[in-house]
Amino acid sequence: MKVIVLGAGVIGTASAWYLAQAGHEVAVVDRREGPGLETSFANGGQVSVCHAEPWANPGAPLKVLRWLSREDAPLLFRLRMDPSQWSWGLRFLLECTAWRTRENIAQILAMAFYSRMALRELRAVTGIAYDESTRGILHYYTDRAELEAAREATAVMRRHGLDRVERTVEEAVAIEPALAPAAARIVGATYTPSDESGDAYLFTAALARLAQEKGAQFLCNREIRGLRATQRGVSGVVVAGPGGEETIAGDAFVVALGSYSGLLTRPLGLALPIYPAKGYSATVPVADPGKAPRVSLTDDEAKIVITRLGSRLRIAGTAELSGWSTDLNPVRCEALVRRARSLFPDAGDWSVPQYWAGLRPATPSNVPLVGATRIPNLWLNTGHGTLGWTMACGSGAALADLISGRKPAVDFAFTRP
Ligand SMILES: Cc1cc2nc3c(=O)[nH]c(=O)nc-3n(C[C@H](O)[C@H](O)[C@H](O)COP(=O)(O)OP(=O)(O)OC[C@H]3O[C@@H](n4cnc5c(N)ncnc54)[C@H](O)[C@@H]3O)c2cc1C
């Protein structure tokens, strides 16, 4: 079968790899000059099954309200005259009940577990390298109430088989000695030794090369304009590229356009509950390797992650629901560096941060949309929100199974016609 994958982020590229492995003829189309240059470019780097708790949870509505007017808020709704933002916000509120949160955690855990296993298998088979680290994820707390609140999420995750455990401050410092100067500010931590980290962009670029070796084509510098479709199916995708406008034909089409996915499907009557949640990162060179953390860290109070990627430190986080702009907001950028520097003053060269912003393709539940649509040969692999890197391999493998007519090895609520 000829499968056209729309989007060459970490999700589209992983889809292409597993589809090529399954023996399909694959072409990936993207507007950028290479794979992985939008949201998958400079994210937090965590492969974090332990972050399965979605933004939408019983405590979220109050926090979001409190944060509404704060320019440096970890999750900021910047209200706009945009019906898609309002309807997303309403659906987000509906996902905040305790039972919806439990359901969503179970779905996210299932896909994240499966994906982490698929990533390990891929690494073992191909030797793919991407500044990866398998030292786990340490989540530290500076607020006792938040630490106590985290016990419930930790217990739920343990019931699902995740090795997330609570650790004292002393134990946390033993796991990550670079935390020692900040120990007085920390009240406790949770640690998930089985979680990982690595550079999602390096991974995407390397996996694209491997997929090309398997025969997949990457058609870059091509802006996708629309799909030619009837109720019987999609016959082609209209793209504008270096040679002008053309229609690329295929037997099946996978929408993996991140935050832009819904803009493509809407004219076909498929409204996807995806809204961009803008986040920022700062990357600095490691200054003193002995003082820079090696274990990937999550700072609960600041809602940021700090990940060592080889000789670099990546600090990432914050979320802003404010539309599709990726302009850098200096207040939010500087807040990242200020926080990391205050905790690890000698770890990085803080004078030369490389700032970046990306748009998480967020669904109200943070459960991604993977599977079929009511248009017979149109498939979705999108809406991975805060965990696209974590869930990339699993979603790609499962989607390739579905397209090949096989039952995926993960118990997940795939989208259906
Ligand atoms: C600050 C931040 C920190 C994060 N940290 C983590 C983390 O630690 N762990 C984790 O698991 N996840 C993290 N994420 C989330 C993760 O980065 C995303 O979920 C993931 O990158 C989404 O991948 P994607 O392939 O769906 O989207 P993208 O990478 O955006 O790919 C979509 C592709 O579609 C292309 N495209 C879009 N529209 C068109 C068009 N019209 N024509 C042609 N091409 C088009 C784009 O060029 C792009 O290449 C973070 C995100 C942010 C912003």
316 lines ligand 1 (CB under 6 A): yes
| pLDDT (0 to 100) of residue 357 | 98
Q: Which atom of ligand 1 is nearest to the CA of 383?
A: 26
Residues 333, 281: Cα–Cα separation, whole Å = 7
Q: Which of 78, 82, 133, 168 is nearest to 306 (CA)?
A: 133
Residues 373, 355: Cα–Cα separation, whole Å = 37
Q: Which atom of ligand 1 is nearest to the CA of 385?
A: 19
| pLDDT (0 to 100) of residue 66 | 85
Nearest CA to ligand 1 atom 40: 224
361 lines ligand 1 (CB under 6 A): yes
Nearest CA to ligand 1 atom 19: 388
What pLDDT band is residue 73 in, cutting at 50, 70 and 90? confident
3-state SS track over 75-100: EEECCCCCHHHHHHHHHHHHCCCHHH
| pLDDT (0 to 100) of residue 276 | 97
Residues 149, 147: Cα–Cα separation, whole Å = 5
332 lines ligand 1 (CB under 6 A): no
| DSSP symbols for 194-238 | T-EE--HHHHHHHHHHHHHHTT-EEE-S-EEEEEEEETTEEEEEE
What digits encode the pLDDT tens for the residues 348-384?
999 999 999 999 999 999 999 999 999 999 999 999 9
| pLDDT (0 to 100) of residue 223 | 98
255 lines ligand 1 (CB under 6 A): no
Token pair listed for 126: 């191909």
257 lines ligand 1 (CB under 6 A): yes
What digits encode the pLDDT tens for the residues 119-141?
999 999 999 999 999 999 999 99
For residues 120 and 135, the answer to whether their CB atoms sit within 8 Å is no
Residues 230, 161: Cα–Cα separation, whole Å = 44
Whether 232 has a pLDDT exceeding 90, the answer reads no
Q: Which atom of ligand 1 is nearest to the CA of 386?
A: 15
| pLDDT (0 to 100) of residue 387 | 98
74 lines ligand 1 (CB under 6 A): no
What pLDDT band is residue 199 in, cutting at 50, 70 and 90? very high
Token pair listed for 67: 């944060």
Please provide the average confidence, as pLDDT, over all residues in the chain: 96
What is the bridge-based pairing of β-strands 354-362 and 196-197?
Answer: unpaired
40 lines ligand 1 (CB under 6 A): yes
What digits encode the pLDDT tens for the residues 234-250?
999 999 999 999 999 99
Token pair listed for 151: 């016990």
Q: Phi then psi for 18, rounded to 5 degrees?
A: -70, -30
Whether 74 has a pLDDT exceeding 80, the answer reads no
Angle 278-281-286 from CA coordinates, rounded to 5°: 175
Percent residues over pLDDT 70 in the chain = 100
What digits encode the pLDDT tens for the residues 303-344?
999 999 999 999 999 999 999 999 999 999 999 999 999 999
What pLDDT band is residue 295 in, cutting at 50, 70 and 90? very high
For residues 100 and 56, the answer to whether their CB atoms sit within 8 Å is yes
Residues 359, 324: Cα–Cα separation, whole Å = 7
From ligand 1's centre to the CA of 111, what distance in Å?
17
| pLDDT (0 to 100) of residue 64 | 83
| pLDDT (0 to 100) of residue 153 | 86
From ligand 1's centre to the CA of 316, what distance in Å?
14
Residues 249, 210: Cα–Cα separation, whole Å = 24
> What single letter denotes the amino acid at residue 364?
P
Residues 356, 35: Cα–Cα separation, whole Å = 17
With DSSP H G I counted as helix, E B as strand and the rest as coil, what are the percentages for the chain, rounded to 5? 35, 25, 35
pTM of the model: 0.98
CA 383, chain centre distance (Å): 9
| pLDDT (0 to 100) of residue 94 | 96
Sign of CA dihedral 299, 162, 381, 295: positive
Residues 403, 405: Cα–Cα separation, whole Å = 5
How many CB atoms are closer than 10 A to CB 202? Answer: 18
What digits encode the pLDDT tens for the residues 75-118?
888 888 889 999 999 999 999 999 999 999 999 999 999 999 99
265 lines ligand 1 (CB under 6 A): no
